[in-house]
Amino acid sequence: MSFEVNFDGLVGPTHNYAGLAHGNIHSVNNKSKPSNPRRAALQGLDKMKLMHDLGYKQAIIPPQERPLINEYEDYNNMAINASASSMWVANSCTVAPSVDSYNNKLNLLTANLNFTHHRRIEAPQTYDILNKIFCDATKFMVHTPIESNGDFDDEGAANHTRFCNSYDEEGLHFFVYGRSQNDSEESPSKYPARQTLQASKKVAKTMQIKNAIFAQQSSESIDAGVFHHDVIGVGNKNFYFYHEKALAEEEETVIKLQDTFNGKLNFLCVKETELPMDLVVDTYLFNSQLVEYEDGHMLIAPIRCRRNPLVRKYLQSIIGRNNPIKKVRYVNLEQSLWNGGGPACLRLRVTMTESEFSALHPGIIFTDKLHLQLRKWVKHYYVGNLIYEDLFVPSYIKRCRDALQELTNILDLGNIYPFQIK
């Protein structure tokens, strides 16, 4: 039996609003505002607890060491070195279940995140942490990031969706890219396209995925602030929920998905006349988590979707016994959203067998006991108000390291951070 496990990124103690992500409207608009790392981390834990209480399997990916400074205490580029963006683990890697790969292992390919400096520096720690969690080499294969000079920029699972009839069966992998070497394809004019077609194809080939198709994201959506596909479309099992302006060739892509999929794919396309693209970007509707529920799906949506009358009314209109989406639950992740990441950004979806799940490092499996430990830990170490200048204070850097030292003990991960290994 196979099932989906949600691995959520634990928000780090340096959660701040530096506005580093060009093309991410929320990140840029909130630049230099005070942040609340304690609230951000607790909001993330609340979402994990909700999923756990609803009966879904839940696990944790720890934050990376931040600020990341060298042995000479170089404080240059502190905004980059202190970014807590590793919390958005949808960008950590791309996942292919063992049933989908010719090598018959659960594959995780670490994203290089080459396009932005503050995220590029995550890749080495991500690779090490994934190897600690997915530690059984007979069942898991953790791949190093793809090298890129710009042509192979890879942003991980945020531009990847797996469709299947059931989690036990072989699936269809849907890769969405923003740019390619094909000069005839459209390109955005306002904001950059991050994911490349070449990277997506290399990811699929490296993980030996049996069945994959590739489609281009629309330039119009990128210029509207949709920096990853998971801000404009989300899928689960045999259901795809997306905005009509998500893809460059929407009709052709839908036909290709249906023709390639083994069975019937269900599509729910939100029209621009129903919900304008700028509104879905503002509310992060499509960055909801879509999970199986009864004979259909449940949407775990940002609280601002409920607070917006038009989006709330739309969601009420598509929920019901005869609709694919049976229920909506709302979660408050405003601290993360102000920095450009919603429910789907905070989690990595991993389809696993019982045997594979049992082979995981046990310390990262979410339990009620671990939840209470982490809440106590956050309240002890995390501050309720953080501004950019705080990141330079030596006592705060020590506080962050002390927090991570205790976290590795709580999760029984051993020494995983650079400051522990020196």
Active site residues: 155, 228, 345
Tell me the torsion sign for CA atoms 192, 40, 83, 372: negative
**Rounded Cα–Cα distance for residues 421 and 128 (Å):** 12
Q: Are 305 and 285 in contact (CB under 8 A)?
A: yes
Nearest 5°: phi and psi at 140? -120, 150
**Rounded Cα–Cα distance for residues 152 and 200 (Å):** 8
Q: Are 3 and 206 in contact (CB under 8 A)?
A: no
Tokens coding 228: 């990853």
**Rounded Cα–Cα distance for residues 193 and 212 (Å):** 21
Task: Tell me the residue type at 274.
Answer: E
Tell me the torsion sign for CA atoms 96, 341, 357, 239: negative
Nearest 5°: phi and psi at 125? -65, -40
**Rounded Cα–Cα distance for residues 214 and 389 (Å):** 43
* DSSP designation for 260: H
* DSSP designation for 83: -
DSSP string, 352-385: EEHHHHHTS-GGGB--HHHHHHHHHHHHHH--S-
